[in-house]
Amino acid sequence: MKKTFSAKKEEVQRDWYVVDAADMILGRLATQIANILRGKNKPIFTPHVDTGDFVVVINADKIRLTGKKWEQKTFYRHSGYPGGLKSITANKVKAEFLIKHAVRGMLPHNKLGRKQLKKLKVFAGPDHNHQAQCPKSLSILPSS
């Protein structure tokens, strides 16, 4: 009788990947990053175990949004007090926030998703401070 394979958190081998976000469309890049963070690119993927890898995103300030999203996409937050709703458009927020926000929406909305999001490191420029981990370059084809 065969049993269904279930990965254990001690058995997971984590790699580091670096992704260049220059001239990439935000949503298409975010789906690829979310799959790597979850571990869906590995044969040992188990939905309830964090089997994903670390992802370092560079050149986040050169990300692309399609259409008029730079002016029309709005992010909201509320202070909890009456009249405390604040809104800000995409062209006024940092590019690091845009990428993290897009990836966060594609991960599970529970403790596991929060743990997976901590493995995402986003930098605005071409330099990052994770050279010691020897990240592999991950090529994601820019789509138009």
Rounded Cα–Cα distance for residues 142 and 125 (Å): 18
Rounded Cα–Cα distance for residues 90 and 109 (Å): 23
The string of pLDDT tens digits covering residues 80-129 is 999 999 999 999 999 999 999 999 999 999 999 999 999 999 999 999 99
pLDDT of residue 139: 86
Predicted confidence band of residue 144 (pLDDT cuts 50, 70, 90): low
| Selection from 135, 141, 114, 112 nearest residue 56 by Cα | 135
All domains of the chain in start order, with CATH: 16-65+95-137 (3.90.1180.10)
The string of pLDDT tens digits covering residues 32-48 is 999 999 999 999 999 99
Helix runs in the chain, H state only: 26-38, 69-72, 95-104, 111-117
- What's the gap between Cα 4 and its chain centre? 29
